[in-house]
């Protein structure tokens, strides 16, 4: 079950300071005496801390995330509606929810806030950070966190289905989805009552996203031109599927949080303020497993290949699947084998060079 800790205060990159910030998280396994066996799982856009649900194939004894050896931690991202500080959170000073006063959150804000939370939990070092899509952005940003003596706070990295910065293609997808939400009359510039949210806009945004998360082959193989004769308007099967996915998200998510999280993803750029893109990537010394998906149209394989060209200690693994970007949430067995084998090899190399 999710737990919550509270950070007394935190200052975001834009200069806004909030107080009494809740951070929702879940853990599996036990933190060792040295506080250095933590494995950090970074969740995707509409994900939560339920790793044993959405990544059950990677979590368990003998798997890539092994609670018998690892202290597996997943922290909810700021801006998400699942317990960490967000537009839905009540301001402890005013007694009202932050709403449109919620500050813009960057990927670096999330990593810095999560580090504060990890330290409050007693974590001294993170053995490995792993995550896909938005989670992969955070994984790459963790590469720049250091300890007081200048050593990496995170020892190894597994970014999945992501590049080193959000491109115009990905920002375009994000903005199109936001505009669908803004176009809903119930959006009300973000000042909507929680009992009357812009559900049509959020549902449409999710439908758009689902198209980008899959592939031509995946949609054609699953739906083709099948028609749903049992439904009143007899939609094509793919139409019915997208409507269903939109409705499912409306039932569990918040439109304002969706807007804020997509904006956070658009800030992703490891080189921002640090130097040229290639030079900054070359400065990441940690062993890194970069996982790409051969049918990913949202974060194409060329982006992972680019990462590996510039990261000095990187290995590329390609997840072969017809299911597009979402394959990292579908192809559990193959992904688990890739990550588990690489982690075992990385640990051996670390012990040899120590």
Residues with a catalytic annotation lie at: 133, 296, 325
Q: What are phi and psi of 274, to 5 degrees?
A: -115, -20
Give the C-alpha separation, 119 to 97, whole Å: 27
Q: Can you say how many angstroms the Cα of residue 162 is from the centroid of all Cα atoms in its chain?
A: 10
- The three-state secondary structure class of 107 is helix
Residue where the block lists tokens 């067995």:
333
291, two tokens: 């996982």
DSSP string, 258-325: HHHHHHHHHT-BTTTTTS-HHHHHHT--S-EEEEEETT-SSS-HHHHHHHHHH-TTEEEEEE--TTGG
Nearest by Cα to 114 from 44, 21, 184, 47: 21
Q: At what angle do helices 199-213 and 168-182 cross, to 10 degrees?
A: 160
190, two tokens = 């973000």
d(CA 126, CA 32): 12
CA dist., res. 71 & res. 40, Å (int): 8
Cβ atoms of 19 and 93 within 8 Å: the answer is: yes
Nearest to 114 by CA among 153, 152, 68: 153
Nearest residue to 139 (alpha-carbon basis) of 57, 53, 75, 62? 75
């Amino acid at each position: 079950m999710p737990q919550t800790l509270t950070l007394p205060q935190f200052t975001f990159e834009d200069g806004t300071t909030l107080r009494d910030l809740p951070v929702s998280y879940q853990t599996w396994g036990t933190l060792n005496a040295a506080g250095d066996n933590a494995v950090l799982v970074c969740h995707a856009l509409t994900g939560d801390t339920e790793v044993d649900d959405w990544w059950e194939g990677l979590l368990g004894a003998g798997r890539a995330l092994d609670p018998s050896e690892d202290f597996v931690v997943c922290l909810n991202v700021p801006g998400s509606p699942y317990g960490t500080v967000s537009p839905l959170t009540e301001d402890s000073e005013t007694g009202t929810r932050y709403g449109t006063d919620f500050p813009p959150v960057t990927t670096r804000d999330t990593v810095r806030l999560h580090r504060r939370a990890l330290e409050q939990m007693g974590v001294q070092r993170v053995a490995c950070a792993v995550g896909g899509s938005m989670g992969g952005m955070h994984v790459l940003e963790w590469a720049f966190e250091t300890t007081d003596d200048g050593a990496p706070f995170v020892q190894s990295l597994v970014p999945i289905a992501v590049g080193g910065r959000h491109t115009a293609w990905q920002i375009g997808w994000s903005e199109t989805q936001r505009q669908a939400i803004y176009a809903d009359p119930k959006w009300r510039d973000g000042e909507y009552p929680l009992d009357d949210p812009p559900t049509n806009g959020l549902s449409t945004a999710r439908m758009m996203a689902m198209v980008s998360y899959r592939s031509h082959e995946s949609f054609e193989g699953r739906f083709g031109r099948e028609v749903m004769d049992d439904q009143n308007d007899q939609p094509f099967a793919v139409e019915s599927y997208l409507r269903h996915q939109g409705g499912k998200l409306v039932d569990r998510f918040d439109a304002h949080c969706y807007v804020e999280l997509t904006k956070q993803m658009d800030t992703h750029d490891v080189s921002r303020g640090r130097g040229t893109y290639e030079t900054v990537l070359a400065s990441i010394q940690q062993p890194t497993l970069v996982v790409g998906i051969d049918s990913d149209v949202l974060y194409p394989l060329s982006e992972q290949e680019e990462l590996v060209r510039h990261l000095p200690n990187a290995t590329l693994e390609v997840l072969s699947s017809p299911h597009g970007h979402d394959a990292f949430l579908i192809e559990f067995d193959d992904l688990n084998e890739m990550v588990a084998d690489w982690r075992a090899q990385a640990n051996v190399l670390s012990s040899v060079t120590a």
